[in-house]
Structure 1
Amino acid sequence: MAEKIRILLAEDEPALAQIVKESLETRNFVVFLAADGNEALRRYQEKTPEVLVLDVMMPKKDGFTLAKEIRQLDKNIPIIFLTAKSQTVDVLEGFSVGGNDYLKKPFSMEELIVRIQNLLNRNKLQQESEILKIGQYIFDFPKQTLSYNNEQNEFLTHREAHLLFHLCKNKNQILDRSIILKKLWGDDDFFSARSMDVFISKLRKKLSKDKNIQIVNVRGYGYKIII
């Protein structure tokens, strides 16, 4: 039997929350309820849901603020906003804080369920595409692991994993030094650049068992991984 998908539903209207909960549970989901933003954050930390369905207008902490905080912890979890608002500026704000979809009240349960399934399928495909073969290595970006010829996994730090991911997505091409520094370090100053050099050295060492892999410094431009 397939494992049930865990959903966190943050909705401050008790009647609506109960209807949505019961409808989702008939479709083989497990639903955790929260009536305000603070409770939703606690439930997220306790229950590790796989999908978030967040009302925008909630007491104590609104859905946009909650999503922004959760995105600091988890970049990949699908987030759907429920709202009575439909102005373009509100929709844009929802996406800017990390939302993946936006459903206007009143909505049909069928539509909500279809959107949840679409986001789950998209997330699964994205994660599968982020398991990369680098020469004789397998790099699992979501899990931040590197294995050589099916040996025991070596764990990478968050920054090592993201740097290697960007190198691999641009394999045999120059990865612009300034762009990646701003993306991963937040600045392209001298000290950030020196830190990046250290991480490049660490990655070279971790990939050293396959002599066909090179990470080369293209002076004045950036780095390039050659496979």
Structure 2
Amino acid sequence: MTKNTIKLLLAEDEPALGQIVKESLESRDFEVFLCENGEIAAKTYQEVQPDILVLDVMMPKKDGFTLAKEIRQENAAIPIIFLTAKSQVKDVVEGFQHGGNDYLKKPFSMEELIVRIHALLDRIHLKKDHTKIPIGKYMFNHTQQQLLWEETPIQLTHRESALLFHLSEKRNSVLDRTFILNKLWGDDDFFNARSMDVFITKLRKKLKNDPDIQIVNVRGFGYKLIC
């Protein structure tokens, strides 16, 4: 394998399909780690640190949605494609809520899968130069989930990092409350709204070293990051 070989973790419990996909991808210079269930895939992810995940949704021991949700807790950036026989809108929505970037319905063509893999990897590559985002006198590294203040790192949780990322994208404009609740919490109910308020308070404390930074509550609409 060359230095530029893409490491791909494939979790698929149908042996014949898994082998076909593995061989097809390897013929195109991917390094493929085929896992027969979600538990093995979780362990393999930690061992090999792949560049992209292709996960079957319906797997024994741990389904693809659960696996993706767990991985998203520590890695907000890795691309995830779901493979599934399900096609109802609610299933597609659930896939995106659990951290999926794309969704491919079985049966699928290998060419379509490869096009989607490269599209996601190209998108990630374009974003790499933008992982360090200046916020006032802080430097925010979204990928590492970290703020830097005068060489001092301040670690963020996955949700703090995701929330700050969306605030920074809409800086000096209002981040819609309903949108971000559905995006990060999966529902805009009262309890999730209270939870988000707690996370906003935590972010304010972590950004307090720069008095020019404010996270303002725009009542009835959402929050605005001013810097």
- TM exceeding 0.5: yes
The residue that corresponds to 2:194 in the other structure is 188
Tell me the residue number matched to 1:204.
208
Name the counterpart of 1:141. 142
Instruction: Give the Cα separation in 2 of the matches to 1:21 and 1:141.
Output: 31
Superimposed CA distance per residue, residues 172-213 of structure 1 (whole angstroms, 9 cap, x where no aligned partner): 356789998996995538xx86885565244222x37xxxx3
Distance apart, 1:82 and its partner CA: 1.9
Q: CA deviation at 1:34?
A: 0.7
Deviates more, 1:37-46 or 1:128-137: 128-137
Q: Which amino acid aligns with 2:169?
A: K
Query: Which stretches in structure 2 are left out of the alignment for 5+ residues?
Result: 186-190
Paired position in structure 1 for 2:32: 31
Q: In structure 2, do the counterparts of structure 1 residues 86 and 68 end up closer, same or farther at CA, with 3 Å as the change threshold?
A: same
The 5-angstrom pairing of residues 7-22 of structure 1 reads 7-22=8-23
Whichever residue aligns with residue 114 of structure 2, its letter is I
TM-score (norm 2): 0.71
Conserved in 1, the CA contact under 8 Å of 2:92 and 2:103?
yes
Q: What's the CA shift string for 1:100-154, capped at 9, x where partnerless?
A: 2222233222211111111112233345444323455543222234457xx7463
Cα pair distance change 1:61/1:164, threshold 3 Å: closer
Unaligned runs of 5+ in 1: none
Q: Is the 8 A contact 1:164 1:203 kept in 2?
A: no
Q: CA deviation at 1:3?
A: 2.5
Letter in 2 for 1:11: E
In the comparison of the two structures, how many residue pairs are matched?
Answer: 218
Counterpart Cα distance in 1 of 2:134 and 2:51? 27
Q: Matched residues, percent identical?
A: 53
Tell me the equivalent position of 1:171: 171
Secondary structure, in 3 states, of the residue corresponding to 2:13? coil
Which residue in 1 is equivalent to 2:153? 154
46 and 172 in structure 1: CA distance in 2 versus 1, 3 angstrom threshold: same
Please give the alpha-carbon distance, in whole angstroms, between the structure 1 residues aligned to 2:103 and 2:95. Answer: 8
Matched residues in 2 for 1:129 and 1:81: separation? 26
Q: Which has the larger radius of gyration?
A: 1
Once the two structures are superposed, what CA deviation does each residue of 1:41-83 show, in whole Å capped at 9, x if it has no partner?
2212222222111122322233233333333343332221223
1:1-227 residue pairs with structure 2 within 5 A? 2-135=3-136, 137-147=138-148, 152=151, 154-158=153-157, 161=161, 164-173=164-173, 186=192, 188=194, 197=201, 199-205=203-209, 207=210, 213-215=212-214, 226-227=226-227
- The letter for the 2-side match of 1:96 is Q
Query: Which segment drifts farther, 75-84 or 107-116?
Result: 75-84
TM-score relative to the length of structure 1: 0.71
Q: Distance in 1 between matches of 2:112 and 2:178?
A: 43
C-alpha distance in 2 between matches for 1:5 and 1:23: 14
Identify the range of structure 1 (53-62 vs 136-145) with the bigger mean alpha-carbon deviation. 136-145
- Residue 34 of structure 2: SS of its match in structure 1? strand
Aligned residue identity for 2:14:
E
